[in-house]
Structure 1
Amino acid sequence: MTSTTGTDGAAAGTDWGAWQESWDRQQEWYMPDREERFRVMLDMVEAFAGTAPRVLDLACGTGTITARLLGRFPDARSTGVDLDPALLTIARGTFEGDERVSFVEADLKDPDWTARLPYASYDAVLTATALHWLHCEPLAVLYGRIAGLVRDGGVFMNADHMIDETTPRINAADRAQRHARMDRARRDGVLDWAQWWELAAADPVLAGPTARRFEIYGEHADGETPSADWHARVLREQGFAEARPVWRSPSDALVLAVK
């Protein structure tokens, strides 16, 4: 992942693929079934929008969803939107020169963020492991704005931590099993969230964007993780005709909403 910075400020020699791989491994430490949820997500994109969809990659991070979208559907087009300057730097470096992809830096809590997008509507809006950074009230507002972006018959999908607080013993058993697995992986040298960001902060290209990122977010936002049933209900209230989970793990779910 070694990189240098030229006089024009652009990264020269940065291995963006290595940064993507590093990010994937760190995320999989928390979510070993991460690729399975992406597979189901893209299955549903194909079912509703075909193989050349126009997609909004919401809170796109490094462009994880966009990479898998284009790998499966080469004729797709993707707009990635995020506020994190470090992850956007990796995303832009990864997809530089790819005319199918564009990125927008915007705060999803800003009521005017949709005005920055290159299209007025999308076949699919996709997001994963990101919206738990928001509390329920601003998330419900965001769902209303997303409903305004999805074309009739199009879809929105959110894969995230969705905790059912009515099952505390099941939740505790799952948590204990996950932490035991994570402890074993850590002994094998897997990076956790904090260690990954330490690595980014030490990189000459990512150091500046990483510092700005922590000015924006701090260590981690204090959001909420309501149940999948909550997400489905609120999505219907905010303008979607149908909504329900289409994939689950003991602690996570993928909720699909149809306009």
Structure 2
Amino acid sequence: MTDRNHWNDWQRSWDRQQEWYLPDREERFRVMLDLVEAVAGPTPRILDLACGTGSISERLLARLPGAVSVGVDQDPALLAIARGHFADEPRLLLVTADLTDPGWADALPPGPYDAVLTATALHWLATDDLLRLYADLARVVRPGGLFLNADRAPDHAVPLLTAADEAFQQRRRARERAEGVLDWADWWAAAAADPLLADHVVARKALYGEHADGEFHPAEWHTARLVEAGFREAGVAWRSVTDAVVAAVR
């Protein structure tokens, strides 16, 4: 197997592991890209925030051949997969930066950007770091541009629906695990066993330790904080019982 095929397999494996948690993941991406195309047309300049292996950028570049993307992340293992997978893709630039560092945007190519997209990542941040990041993004996005965040957004008004949905998802995940789908822990164990990824996984653990979420906030909390940070309007572009795509216009 060539290195390129090796990294492609890891990219697909990451997507499948994420889909195990988020069976509507592709629908979220479609909604996000619909809005990007509606606002910025066929040649947007995008910031893929906390890009991981580049899942958003891959779908963006496939859909809009005139797009360009800058992916930013700190995770050395996921960035190694992205660099291998996108080795021959000149439309994507990958940047290493720590979003908890107030100077993180200094590592980016000069903006502004037509849109900033992120998915299932910012819940890792403590609330103070997230609020500071929202203010940073209001300076990174061009006037009229977009910020889109797809993430967990609990709706405390529907506890019965939330409990029913969680039970349903647990049954689905149990069936898929029996069919061999890897969960988060098993995926990372497999990555640590890969000679091409092992050192990157060690470096990742030195940065992050064990996985730890920050604080989850309702979608309405995010929309209010984005307006306070300098966006002209913010609302919910898509939601399920437990998750939402929050969209803000600069």
> How high is the TM-score relative to the length of structure 2?
0.97
> What are the residue-to-residue correspondences of 1:1-259 with 2, within 5 Å?
12=3, 15-259=6-250
Contact 1:159 1:253 (C-alpha < 8 Å) held by counterparts: yes
Contact 2:4 2:84 (C-alpha < 8 Å) held by counterparts: no
Within 1, Cα distance between the matches of 2:77 and 2:49?
Answer: 16
Within 2, Cα distance between the matches of 1:119 and 1:94?
Answer: 25
Within 1, Cα distance between the matches of 2:111 and 2:64?
Answer: 22
Report the CA distance between 1:119 and its aligned residue. Answer: 2.1
> How high is the TM-score relative to the length of structure 1?
0.94
Report the CA distance between 1:166 and its aligned residue. Answer: 3.4
Report the CA distance between 1:14 and its aligned residue. Answer: 5.1
Letter in 2 for 1:241: R
Tell me the secondary structure at the aligned position of residue 136 of structure 2: helix
Contact 1:132 1:224 (C-alpha < 8 Å) held by counterparts: yes
Within 1, Cα distance between the matches of 2:116 and 2:9?
Answer: 27
Once the two structures are superposed, residues 74-129 of structure 1 have per-residue CA deviations (whole angstroms, 9 ceiling, x without a partner) of 11010000000000001111111322111111100101010110122100000000
Letter in 1 for 2:53: T
Report the CA distance between 1:13 and its aligned residue. Answer: 5.7
Shift >6 Å, 4+ stretches: none
Within 2, Cα distance between the matches of 1:110 and 1:251?
Answer: 29
Letter in 2 for 1:257: A
Pick which of 85-94 and 12-21 moved more.
12-21
Once the two structures are superposed, residues 169-210 of structure 1 have per-residue CA deviations (whole angstroms, 9 ceiling, x without a partner) of 222222111111111111111100001001100111100001
RMSD of Structure 2 on Structure 1 (CA): 1.2
**Corresponding residue pairs, total:** 250
Pick which of 89-98 and 240-249 moved more.
89-98
Contact 2:49 2:71 (C-alpha < 8 Å) held by counterparts: yes
Within 2, Cα distance between the matches of 1:33 and 1:141?
Answer: 29
Contact 1:126 1:156 (C-alpha < 8 Å) held by counterparts: yes
Tell me the secondary structure at the aligned position of residue 108 of structure 1: coil
Within 2, Cα distance between the matches of 1:73 and 1:118?
Answer: 21
Within 2, Cα distance between the matches of 1:253 and 1:224?
Answer: 15
Unaligned 5+ runs, structure 2:
none
Contact 1:134 1:221 (C-alpha < 8 Å) held by counterparts: no
Unaligned 5+ runs, structure 1:
4-11
Within 1, Cα distance between the matches of 2:149 and 2:232?
Answer: 16
Letter in 2 for 1:149: V
Tell me the secondary structure at the aligned position of residue 127 of structure 1: strand
Report the CA distance between 1:145 and its aligned residue. Answer: 0.3
Letter in 1 for 2:92: V
